[in-house]
Structure 1
Amino acid sequence: MTKVVNYISESFEELKSNVTWPAWAEVQRLTIVVAVFSVVFALATWGVDELFAKTLAVFFNWIKA
């Protein structure tokens, strides 16, 4: 258990002393970039899924006829 506590303590010390944290404005800007990209990627995935679904529906209706 001492090893775990020591590891956590050293991790916090590492984060405080050796990590260069970005400015708050940069964090906000990058968060917006990630959110917009996520929405665009989700819409693109949905669009491709709809396209394939309609294409397969047309294909199978063509086979049945």
Structure 2
Amino acid sequence: MKKNNFFLEVYDEFFHCITWPKWEDLQGTTIMVSFFSIFLSIFLYGVDVFFIFLIKRLFSL
């Protein structure tokens, strides 16, 4: 296979065969991912604080 043919096929696949998401869908999923990332980070912070408290209580006897 020639390099020119390969790059032409890649270009054709990229611009004509791929279905890109609509702008509204992209915004919605970005907001959802951001919300769950913030929620998960707060939740894991709370779990971390709880285990630090528990370990300090167990080893301070």
**Is the shorter-chain TM-score for this pair beyond 0.5, marking a shared fold?**
yes
* 1:48 counterpart = 2:33: no
Aligned length: 60
TM superposition shift of 1:15: 1.8
Corresponding residue number in structure 2 for 1:36: 35
Distance in 2 between residues matched to 1:37 and 1:43, nearest whole Å? 10
Corresponding residue number in structure 2 for 1:61: 60
Taking structure 1 as the reference length, what is the TM-score of the superposition? Answer: 0.75
Q: Give RMSD over aligned pairs.
A: 2.1
Gaps of 5+ in 2: none
Taking structure 2 as the reference length, what is the TM-score of the superposition? Answer: 0.79
Gaps of 5+ in 1: none
Distance in 1 between residues matched to 2:15 and 2:59, nearest whole Å? 61
SS in 1 for 2:49: helix
Q: Percent identity?
A: 32
Distance of aligned partners of 1:19 and 1:46 in 2 relative to their CA distance in 1, 3 Å threshold: same
